[in-house]
């Protein structure tokens, strides 16, 4: 999916001031730089666990505690994580404490192995062994990426944009699979398996195939594998590559990113601030985890989906429109810094304006066009109405139609298909079918309207877009005026009215400041690439 | 596929359905309770009244979601499955020649005040329906289409005059069960004219008929939505043959004639 | 409602060739002229009955046969109708056969009065008396028109176009009334009471309040009165004048027009060819009845609604698009000839293209814009999808939304609101409520899109509109090539594929060629005005 | 308004309803018959299956219209009508002062894995809901909002530490009846901590609760969709007064203080 496809017809609809656009980007970079610095200076338990996962450590103990958790905890308990988990672990392996990672983890859990921080010449063999293991691991991700490229080459991409994105959310991977396959057959280009409530706050990744999620299914390596295999089958049946999405979000963001790379997921929800604002996860933890996970995504050829839509579920979509733009600019900066390319930036935004607001649809068009023109080469992810969806499913079906129309008129890249039951239940099989019918009608009957849609340069839409961009620049300036920039503004409620101080929130105890000799071959390999 | 099943929302056996209706009472908690009660009486438990909107001062509209407790028992589903072989126009023509040794005469109409002719035309006119040609296209069928708003006496007169083998009647308007009433009136007049098993085959059709109601309505066959001309032609051959106690698809005496068929 | 309102924003969207437009109108006039001539040369039983109704004759006998029918039949039986019903009737009154029309009709029905055709000086008193009676009758229509104008002045018209037009169709005037009032409260500007199936083929107008219609309620003077009174009440409650519509169509077209004038109905369905094509009513009967009824409408200040939408329920809306345009041009010609002004021409057209056709919505826009630009000062009546509405009420709700959008984008004057249950049942109370919600959303959220809708002059929409206009001109030329022009083309299936010969169809026996001394003071008064 | 009524389509007493659902079987006449059977079991007779669409090879979606035979009996509708007077913030503040002679302490949270805080925030935060200010705005109420995904033990600990007068819990996710399960778990833990009628007043709320279920769930009160802060504040005053056996709206000792009230 190349940017040109989405933008050819909508590229010059708004007369945006190029100077203002440049200024907005420069400000985002200025805001983001200290955060990157912060992220470089820390590691987290999840980054270290992700490293072990990349090195091939899988499985869990009898209570379901993953071996990566047991091993990292053991190392942390004995020698700390300031130098990273790899040095002590491969040192132990080199020393012959166990023949492989899995055995080592088991012994460590049993307390039958001692770790140390190898120094001087002792360190070199450990370092080399770790590097080899991780080269292998990263190699597996590279292989999966090539595999995807080959499949896309063979089966082909959807013929048109926006790509059609549908969710399944039964909580049971074995109900999810047939529903996902049915959705793909009816026209979905992308399937997202929604995650069980609460998983984002688990500081470990559950194991195995699962059937007991609430309003979503646990993200596990086995569930990833099962669903990807099923969709590969369906892709062949349909002669088009059906993509799979999950969440690299929450306390285990880096690990899930690694699993996504290993199981050839194609897109991942991954936002720079969602966990902070909506899950009260510690800001530092989030930024560190986020940078590593994005490096993995960059390497794996995964498209990220950012979460700007979420702002508009709690804040007003008109008043807070500029916070979406601001977040998009920041997400873009962080993503590019982590090595992601434009085509991997599924920047989020949403159709969430109160439908009772006069001209709501045209306001949506203004916002959507603004995003389109600010990020001409990114496959924007356009999210449907949720907040103003009620139990009136007929009205819901209507709102979704206008959402679809806005998607077509403004050249969005990824269309998350809205469900008429949004205000009621997680999607039913029939909801998806009806929703796809809605998309098809709007696209085929009215999609060509892009030819006729020419907002005047001094008209309502152009003026609104200009206003939002202006407010976004002001917001970035306001953030810069804080002593500690972004961290302070997150603390004082600038975003979504939520106050999240840098020393508060969940998972702070999993953050570790790196010592001078910190080593992480995975990070080095990914950084080199970035 | 088991014989017992429940509706499917997003999990096997969850029984989930969506329901909407209006109650003639003002909006309020009482009305929501009433909606809940109705849903419960229909077997929806638990029922979520997810939308309640006043329509003026004395009506309230509801949307309800919930799980219905009834089981569908497939073994008890009675369906009018096609009781005759589906023939191509060629085969139909051949069968008619074998059976009648003359053209089959079909008289069609919309009776009562119903003026919806598109359905009967779809069956009778050459243009046809769903890619199939209508009965006019069949060399061995003579079609007399009387059009709309034909009275029952006029229809019977035409059937007599044309010596019709079959009478085809369409009914589209269903308000206050107009279609059922008109059909019953027709069937009564028909039976006064011809004894059971005599006279033309009597067929009614329309989008809201239940095909299982033929007996109850006093007609030979009912066709519902989605009917195609070949369904009807094949049925007529079958019915006329049955009356004569023969098998319409037995080898024809003049099979070589098949060559010159247009169909 | 002035034309300017609808057209201000959509007037110049299509680059129509003004020469071709002029040519189309000239051809329509050429096609229509002989029909006007034919209409002038004939009268019908219904024209004569309408004349008696205007003169104040009401009521029916014990079997429900209206006195106007009994009286016209009696006169016809004795002296024929070639000279009109008024001469023999007022002659009898002048002669003292009865003290008033009602008594005369009763006596005539009982066979206790003799009619004659007064000649020479005998005729003058009869003529004068008839003229006086009909001046009074037309005066009542004039008074009703002034009454409407006063109410509109006092209560006001809807603030915006399109006007919202809703139907009620319970079959029972006493269920219709509360439903109509509810619809008006929810936002309807116009209420149409749908007529019972079959009434169009009745050669009399039923009497009194009725409760037993099928899929519609009988058009009777009493039903008109009851509903108009109810809506007057609601108009006052709402502070806006709610209009009432019924059908001047079928075998009693002239009489129903007269009743509409007398009971202050505001709009009437009245098409020049509908009865011929869709009810197999004799063409001559139709054209004669139609001219008289339009003259009444002109005088009464009633807006007519023509029936071009009906073509598209049997013919394909793309292939037959030009037949709609052709019929609009003919309806316009006949209407103006009968004295109607532009603001009274609710020319019909409909959103009936198969939704599965690629670009169906833009084709609709092209057709709707063409009508808008051809008839810039007429309050076009835009009809919703019917033919492609199925039992899938969700999809139905979606199609109706796009119909509404097309209505807004192309500046239609009267929007007949579509019902999601179109494919299933006559509208329920809740269907209307949901439908109005749909209209409101589309209008308020997206109506302003007219500012941004600018089909390029060489684009898909402009090209399609040009094509349809061209085909319409060709069709008019083809009609003129027939020996007897329009009558022959109606006979050979040019319209809606239906063949309707001039000497076939229902009601032919009610047509009478006028004799030289034909008199009809009503016709004269209306003609003078026209 | 009579106590017995039927749904209203377009005529009094017609009983018309609309229904949609999916059956896990391939599309075909059998499936339409199955849909008809289910509708009949739900009391819809005659039922018109007006739409049947295959969803892949093993599911079919239906839309049904028809007349339901059940009567709604308004006399049997049980509604939780407001059992307490609705107070203004001013009156609430005054009543609390009279009743407690100190501020009322309210602890709120979303428990379990539910992270939907908008609902509880609408009740608690100053910003409020539907134009009404939330409980934080009430001078005499101290609000401790613990936010989302709070575990039951943490909630109980906070309630103890704050000496809460009331505990307010929100549950929005209903899949697999998560909201009911979590509420029951909470109620059990609560009853282990405090005897019936002791400890804080326990209130749950969320859009899909049935307000009649309080007893069954083991909580003092349930609030459903559309609840406003004043509903909750008024209820709390009422409940605390009831526990003390007094009338909360009796004349206050310090009525002159009313002048300085912001509310
Ligand atoms: C086209 C149409 C018209 C056209 C009819 C033109 C014509 N020459 O037929 C016009 C515009 C004239 C019209 C007028 C009216 N209509 Co109309 N019309 C429709 C519409 C849009 C489509 C019907 C259609 O053509 N379907 C296509 C055909 C091919 O399908 P079919 O009829 O089901 O036929 C198939 C099968 O049922 C079967 N079949 C049918 N008949 C027969 C007969 C035999 C013997 C056999 C074997 C099979 C068979 O085979 C066919 C092919 O599969 C429907 C709404 C809709 N979307 O369905 C309303 C609809 C049928 N109309 C309706 C009404 C109420 C009217 C009016 C009465 C309104 C009024 N009061 O003015 C008028 C008056 C007509 C009258 N006197 O009967 C209602 C009926 C409501 C009800 N359930 O009672 C409908 C459902 C619209 C609505 N929701 O209100 N209508
Ligand atoms: C906003 C929203 C979110 C936001 C939440 C932000 C936040 N801080 O709360 C975000 C984007 C984070 C989110 C995420 C998810 N959501 Co969500 N979300 C919604 C949405 C769009 C609106 C809910 C809302 O804010 N309503 C407005 C408030 C004011 O209404 P309310 O909650 O009903 O509260 C009122 C009353 O109920 C009552 N009340 C409520 N609580 C209480 C408590 C007390 C004590 C009292 C007295 C009264 C009371 O008073 C309030 C005012 O009247 C709904 C869909 C919809 N349109 O309803 C889905 C919805 C609730 N979400 C849903 C789901 C499944 C999720 C996810 C689990 C999906 C996933 N797997 O990722 C996630 C994870 C969240 C989690 N772990 O719980 C489902 C729940 C389905 C179900 N019935 O089980 C819904 C219905 C969407 C859907 N159809 O799938 N969501
Ligand atoms: C970026 C991101 N992560 C995660 C989620 C899901 O929430 P949870 O944290 O409950 O898994 C969302 C919401 O859709 C999101 O946008
Ligand atoms: C002009 C006109 N007359 C009459 C009708 C109604 O049909 P009927 O003749 O059955 O009253 C229509 C259809 O809506 C129409 O457009």
pLDDT tens-digit map of B68-116: 999 999 999 988 888 999 999 999 999 999 999 999 999 999 999 898 9
Ligand 4 shell residues, CB under 6 Å? B 115; C 195, 197, 199-200, 247, 249-250, 269, 271, 274, 279, 307, 310
Distance from C-alpha of C246 to C-alpha of B263, rounded to nearest angstrom: 48
pLDDT score of B254: 47
Structure tokens at B57: 């001062």
In three state form, how does the secondary structure of C206-233 look?
CCCCCCCCCCCCCCCHHHHHHHHHHHHH
Tens digits of per-residue pLDDT, C292-330? 999 999 999 999 999 999 989 888 999 999 999 999 999
Residues D15-38 pLDDT 10s = 999 999 999 999 999 999 999 999
Question: Distance between CA A232 and CA A199 in Å, rounded?
Answer: 26
- Upper half-sphere CA count for residue A394 (Cβ side, 13 Å): 35
Q: What is the structure's pLDDT at C529?
A: 45
The DSSP bridge partners found for residue A496 are none
- Report pTM: 0.95
Which residues neighbour B68 within 8 Å (Cβ) at sequence distance 6 or greater? B6, B7, B15, B16, B17, B42, B43, B44, B45, D21, D38, D42
pLDDT of A529 above 60: no
State whether the beta carbon of A197 lies less than 6 angstroms from ligand 2. Answer: yes
Q: Report the C-alpha gap between A352 and A429 in whole angstroms.
A: 24
Size of interface B-C (CB pairs under 8 A): 56
Looking at CA atoms only, how far is residue D136 from chain C in angstroms?
Answer: 35
Chain D nearest-CA residue for B175? D10
What does the pLDDT read at residue D259?
44
- Cβ atoms C46, C251 nearer than 8 A: yes
Do the chains contact at C214 and B173, CB–CB below 8 Å? yes
Burial class (CB in 10 A: 0-12, 13-18, 19+), C417: buried
Contact list, C402 vs chain A (CB under 8 Å):
401, 441-442, 445-446
Q: Please determine, for residue D252, whether its predicted confidence score (pLDDT) is greater than 70.
A: no
D214 vs D176: which has the higher pLDDT: D214
The per-residue pLDDT for A4 is 44
Query: Which chain A residue is nearest to residue D117, measuring alpha carbons?
Result: A314
Residue C466, classed as helix, strand or coil, is helix
- Check residue B103 and give its pLDDT: 97
Q: Is residue C44 predicted with pLDDT exceeding 60?
A: yes
Mean pLDDT comparison of B123-127, C299-303, D213-217, highest-scoring range: C299-303
**Is-contact B54 C186, C-beta < 8 A?**
no
Measured between beta carbons, the chain B residues lying within 8 angstroms of C429 are 22, 55, 59
Return the pLDDT at B196.
Answer: 83
The answer to whether residues C279 and C506 touch, using CB atoms and an 8 Å cutoff, is: yes
**B120 and B205 in contact (C-beta within 8 Å)?**
yes
Would you list the DSSP string of A240-295? SPPEEEEE--STTHHHHHHHHHHTT--EEE--SSHHHHHH-B-HHHHHHHHHHHHH
Confidence class for position D251, pLDDT limits 50, 70, 90: low
Residue A310 Cβ inside 6 Å of ligand 3? The answer reads yes
- What are the residues whose beta carbons fall under 8 Å from the beta carbon of D44, sequence distance 6 or more? B42, D17, D19, D64, D66, D67, D68, D69
Q: Where are the domains of chain D?
A: 4-74, 89-249
- A348 CA distance to ligand 3 middle (Å): 12
Contact C60, C66 (CB under 8 A): yes
Interchain contact, B8 vs A179, CB within 8 Å: no
Q: Which of C394, C449, C460 sits opposite A434 (nearest CB)?
A: C394
Q: What is the pLDDT of residue B260?
A: 44
* Candidate of A324, A426, A498, A506 to mutate for ligand 2, largest count of ligand atoms within 8 Å of Cβ: A426
Residues of C in Cβ contact (< 8 Å) with B114: 197
Condensed to tens digits (0 to 9), the pLDDT of residues A377-407 reads 999 999 999 999 999 999 999 999 999 999 9
Pick the CATH number of D89-249 from 3.30.300.30, 3.30.720.210, 3.20.20.70, 3.40.50.280: 3.40.50.280
In chain D, DSSP finds a helix count (H) and a strand count (E) of 7, 10
pLDDT > 80? residue C2:
no
pLDDT tens profile A497-514: 778 999 999 999 999 999
Q: In chain B, which among 167-186 make CB contacts under 8 A with chain D?
A: 174
The residue-averaged pLDDT of C167-190 equals 94
CB contact under 8 A, D55 and A214: no
Give, for C44, the enclosing helix (H) or strand (E).
strand C42-44
- Active-site annotation holds for C529: no
Q: Hey, are the CB atoms on D12 and C425 less than 8 Å from each other?
A: no
pLDDT of res. C311: 87
Contact of D192 with chain B, judged by CB distance below 8 Å, is answered with no
Are the C-beta atoms of residues B165 and B198 closer than 8 Å to each other? no
Residue D256's pLDDT is 44
Q: Could you say which of D8, D9, D63 has the minimum Cβ distance to residue C393?
A: D63
Residue A1 confidence class, pLDDT cut points 50, 70, 90: very low
Backbone angles phi, psi at A312, to 5 degrees: -80, 0
> How high is the pLDDT of residue D79?
84
| Nearest chain A Cα distance for residue C43, angstroms | 48
Instruction: For chain A, say whether B19 makes contact (Cβ under 8 Å).
Output: no
Q: How many whole angstroms from A325 Cα to the centroid of ligand 1? A: 52
**Could you give the angle at which helices C393-409 and C429-441 cross, rounded to 10 degrees?**
40
- pLDDT band with cut points at 50, 70 and 90 for residue B262: very low
β-partners of residue A415 are A164, A382
More confident residue, A366 or A212: A366
> pLDDT by residue (tens digit) across C453-491?
999 999 999 999 999 999 999 999 999 999 999 999 999
Q: Is residue D122 within 6 Å of ligand 2 at its C-beta?
A: yes
Peptide bond into A316 cis (omega under 30): no
**Which whole number is the average pLDDT over A345-368?**
98
Asked whether the predicted pLDDT for residue C3 surpasses 90, the reply is no
Ligand 2 mean position, distance from CA D119 (Å): 7
Q: Any residues with CB less than 8 A from the CB of C487 and at least 6 apart, and which?
A: C35, C38, C283, C502
Q: Which of A172, A181, A240 is nearest to A209 (CA)?
A: A172
Say whether pLDDT at B258 is over 80. no
**Least distant ligand from the CA of A381:** 3
Q: How far apart are CA D248 and CA D240, in angstroms?
A: 9
Cβ of C175 within 8 Å of Cβ of D50? The answer is: no
Cβ of B68 under 8 Å from any chain D Cβ? yes
Which atom of ligand 4 approaches the CA of C310 most closely?
A: 16
pLDDT for residue C530: 37
Extended strands (E) in chain D = 4-5, 16-23, 44-55, 59-68, 72-73, 104-110, 141-145, 166-170, 201-205, 221-223
Least confident of A2-11, B37-46, C275-284: A2-11
pLDDT at D143 over 80: yes
Cross-chain Cβ contact A433/D173 below 8 Å: no
Q: Please write the tens of the pLDDT for every residue from D152-191.
A: 999 999 999 999 999 999 999 988 889 999 999 999 999 9
**What distance in Å separates residue A90's CA from the closest CA in chain D?**
37
Q: Please write the tens of the pLDDT for every residue from A58-108.
A: 999 999 999 999 999 999 999 999 999 999 999 999 999 999 999 999 999
- Rounded to the nearest integer, the mean pLDDT of chain A is 95
Q: Is the pLDDT of residue B253 over 70?
A: no
| CA of C475 relative to ligand 1 center, distance in Å | 28
Which residue's entry shows tokens 């009567």? Answer: D71
Residue with tokens 């199936």: C197
Q: Which residues of C touch D (CB under 8 A)?
A: 169-170, 172, 175, 179, 390-393, 421, 423-429
pLDDT in tens, A3-33: 444 455 666 799 999 999 999 999 999 999 9
- Delineate the domains of chain C, giving CATH numbers in brackets: 4-34+156-463 (3.20.20.440), 43-135 (no CATH)
- Domain B4-74 -> CATH class: alpha beta
- Residue ranges with strand state E in D157-211: 166-170, 201-205
Interval C334-349 mean pLDDT: 98
Among residues A104, A100, A110, which one has the least CA distance to residue A62?
A110
Q: Tell me if D134 CB under 6 Å of ligand 2.
A: no
| CA nearest to C438, candidates A439, A402, D226, A447 | A402
Nearest atom within ligand 3 for CA of residue A197: 10
* Contact assignment for D68 to B29 by CB distance below 8 Å: no
- Residue B191, judged by CB atoms within 10 A of its CB (0-12, 13-18, 19+), counts as middle
pLDDT at C496: 67
For the CA of A270, the closest atom of ligand 3 is: 1
Asked if C395 and A441 come within 8 Å (Cβ–Cβ), the reply is yes
Which chains, if any, share at least 3 CB pairs under 8 A with chain D?
A: A, B, C
Residue range A447-470, pLDDT digits in tens = 999 999 999 999 999 999 999 999
Does B256 have pLDDT greater than 60? no
Q: How far is the CA of C414 from the centre of ligand 2 (A)?
A: 41
Which sequence positions of D are flagged as catalytic? Answer: 127
- Measured between CA atoms, the residue of chain C closest to residue B117 is C314
Contact C434 A395 (CB under 8 A): yes
**C496 or C231, which is more confident?**
C231
Tokens in use for B196?
A: 């059971």
Q: What are phi and psi of C347, to 5 degrees?
A: -65, 135
Is C381 known to be catalytic? Answer: yes
State both tokens at A111. 């307390």
Summarised one tens digit per residue, pLDDT across range C398-448 is: 999 999 999 999 999 999 999 999 999 999 999 999 999 999 999 999 999
The residue count of chain B comes to 263
How far is the alpha carbon of C434 from chain A, nearest alpha carbon, in Å?
8
Per-residue confidence (pLDDT) for residue A88, from 0 to 100 = 98
Q: Which long-range contacts (CB under 8 A, 24 or more apart) does A237-241 make?
A: A237/A185, A238/A155, A238/A184, A238/A185, A239/A155, A239/A156, A240/A155, A240/A156, A240/A157, A240/A158, A240/A189, A241/A148, A241/A151, A241/A152, A241/A155, A241/A156, A241/A157
Q: Pick the residue whose CA is nearest to atom 49 on ligand 2.
A: D205
Burial class (CB within 10 angstroms; exposed 0-12, middle 13-18, buried 19+) of B103: middle
At C9 the pLDDT is 63
Set of chain D residues whose Cβ sits within 8 Å of the Cβ of A215:
173, 175, 178
- Mean pLDDT on B184-204: 94
Residues in chain D closer than 8 A to A181 (CB atoms): 56
- Which tokens belong to A137? 């691991």
């Amino acid at each position: 999916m190349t940017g040109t496809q989405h933008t050819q017809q909508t590229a010059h609809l708004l007369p945006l001031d190029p100077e203002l656009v440049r200024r907005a980007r420069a400000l985002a970079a200025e805001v983001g730089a200290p955060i990157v610095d912060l992220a470089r200076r820390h590691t987290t338990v999840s980054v270290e666990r992700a490293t072990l996962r990349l090195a091939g450590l899988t499985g869990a103990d009898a209570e379901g505690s993953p071996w990566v958790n047991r091993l990292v905890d053991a190392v942390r308990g004995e020698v700390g994580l300031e130098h990273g988990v790899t040095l002590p672990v491969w040192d132990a392996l080199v020393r012959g404490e166990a023949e492989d990672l899995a055995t080592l983890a088991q012994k460590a859990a049993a307390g039958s192995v001692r770790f140390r921080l190898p120094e001087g010449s002792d360190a070199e063999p450990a370092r080399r062994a770790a590097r080899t293991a991780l080269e292998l691991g990263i190699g597996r991700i590279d292989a999966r990426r090539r595999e995807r490229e080959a499949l896309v080459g063979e089966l082909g991409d959807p013929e048109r944009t926006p790509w059609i994105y549908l969710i399944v959310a039964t909580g049971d991977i074995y109900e999810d699979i047939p529903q996902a396959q049915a959705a793909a057959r009816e026209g979905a280009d992308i399937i997202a398996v929604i995650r069980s409530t609460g998983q984002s706050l688990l500081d470990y990744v559950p194991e195995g195939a699962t059937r007991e999620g609430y309003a979503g299914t646990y993200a596990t390596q086995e569930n990833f594998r099962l669903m990807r295999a099923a969709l590969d089958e369906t892709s062949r049946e349909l002669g088009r590559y059906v993509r799979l999405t999950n969440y690299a979000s929450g306390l285990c963001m880096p690990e899930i990113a690694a699993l996504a790379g290993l199981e050839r997921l194609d897109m991942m929800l991954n936002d720079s601030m969602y966990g902070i604002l909506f899950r009260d996860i510690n800001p530092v933890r989030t930024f560190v985890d986020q940078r590593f996970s994005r490096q993995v995504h960059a390497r794996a050829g995964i498209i990220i989906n950012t979460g700007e839509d979420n702002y508009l579920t709690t804040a007003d979509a008109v008043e807070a429109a500029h916070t979406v733009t601001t977040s998009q600019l920041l997400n873009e900066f962080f993503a590019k810094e982590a090595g992601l390319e434009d085509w991997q930036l599924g920047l989020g935004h949403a159709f969430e304006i109160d439908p009772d607001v006069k001209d709501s649809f045209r306001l949506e068009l203004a916002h959507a066009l603004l995003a389109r023109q600010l990020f001409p080469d990114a496959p924007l992810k356009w999210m449907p109405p949720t907040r103003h969806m009620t139990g009136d499913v007929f009205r819901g079906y209507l709102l979704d139609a206008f959402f679809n129309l806005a998607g077509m008129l403004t050249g969005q890249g990824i269309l998350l298909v809205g469900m008429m039951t949004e205000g009621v239940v997680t999607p039913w099989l029939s909801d998806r079918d009806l929703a796809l019918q809605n998309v098809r009608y709007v696209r085929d009957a009215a999609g060509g309207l892009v030819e006729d849609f020419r907002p005047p340069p001094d008209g309502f839409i152009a003026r609104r877009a200009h206003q939002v961009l202006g407010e976004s620049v002001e917001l970035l300036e306001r953030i810069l005026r804080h002593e500690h920039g972004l961290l302070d503004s997150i603390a004082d409620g600038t975003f979504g009215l939520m106050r999240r101080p840098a020393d508060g929130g969940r998972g702070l105890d999993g953050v570790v400041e790196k010592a001078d000799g910190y080593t992480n071959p995975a990070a080095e390999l990914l950084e080199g690439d970035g | 596929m088991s014989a017992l099943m429940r509706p499917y929302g997003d999990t096997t056996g969850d029984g989930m359905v969506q329901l909407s209706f209006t109650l003639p009472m003002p909006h309020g908690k009482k009305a929501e309770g009433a909606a809940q009660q109705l849903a419960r009486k229909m077997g929806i438990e638990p029922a979520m009244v997810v939308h309640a909107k006043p329509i003026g001062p004395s009506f309230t509209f509801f949307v309800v979601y919930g799980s219905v407790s009834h089981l569908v028992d497939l073994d008890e589903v009675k369906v009018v499955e096609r009781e005759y072989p589906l023939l191509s126009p060629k085969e139909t023509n051949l069968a008619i020649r074998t059976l009648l040794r003359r053209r089959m005469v079909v008289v069609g109409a919309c009776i009562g005040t119903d003026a919806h002719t598109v359905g009967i035309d779809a069956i009778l006119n050459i243009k046809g329906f769903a890619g199939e040609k209508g009965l006019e296209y069949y060399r061995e069928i003579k079609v007399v289409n009387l059009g709309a708003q034909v009275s029952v006496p006029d229809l019977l007169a035409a059937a007599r005059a044309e010596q019709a083998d079959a009478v085809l009647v369409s009914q589209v308007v269903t308000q206050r069960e107009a279609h059922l009433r008109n059909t019953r009136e027709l069937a009564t007049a028909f039976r006064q004219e011809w004894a059971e098993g005599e006279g033309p085959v009597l067929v009614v059709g329309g989008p809201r008929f239940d095909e299982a109601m033929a007996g109850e309505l006093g007609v030979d066959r009912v066709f519902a939505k989605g009917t195609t001309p070949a369904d009807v032609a094949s049925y007529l051959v079958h019915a006329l043959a049955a009356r004569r106690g023969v098998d319409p698809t037995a080898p024809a005496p003049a099979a070589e004639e098949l060559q010159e068929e247009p169909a």
